[in-house]
Amino acid sequence: MVALTARAGADFAGIKALLNQGQDEGWWHYEVGCGTDEWWNA
């Protein structure tokens, strides 16, 4: 298990794209435990 913390103002769209790509390619599965509005709206 790995936990990631992204600071406010981070490239959330880019982070989400990378996480989704890795999941789609079978490299990992991820879940968001606690997301801000900035995360959900990215």
Q: CA separation (Å) from 39 to 4, 16, 21, 35?
A: 13, 8, 17, 6
What pLDDT, on the 0 to 100 scale, is given for residue 19? 96
What pLDDT, on the 0 to 100 scale, is given for residue 31? 94
Asked whether the whole model's pTM tops 0.85, one would answer no
**Sign of the torsion formed by the C-alpha atoms of 24, 41, 11 and 9:** negative
What pLDDT, on the 0 to 100 scale, is given for residue 1? 87
How confident is the model over 1-42, as pLDDT tens digits?
889 899 989 999 999 999 999 999 999 999 999 899 999 999
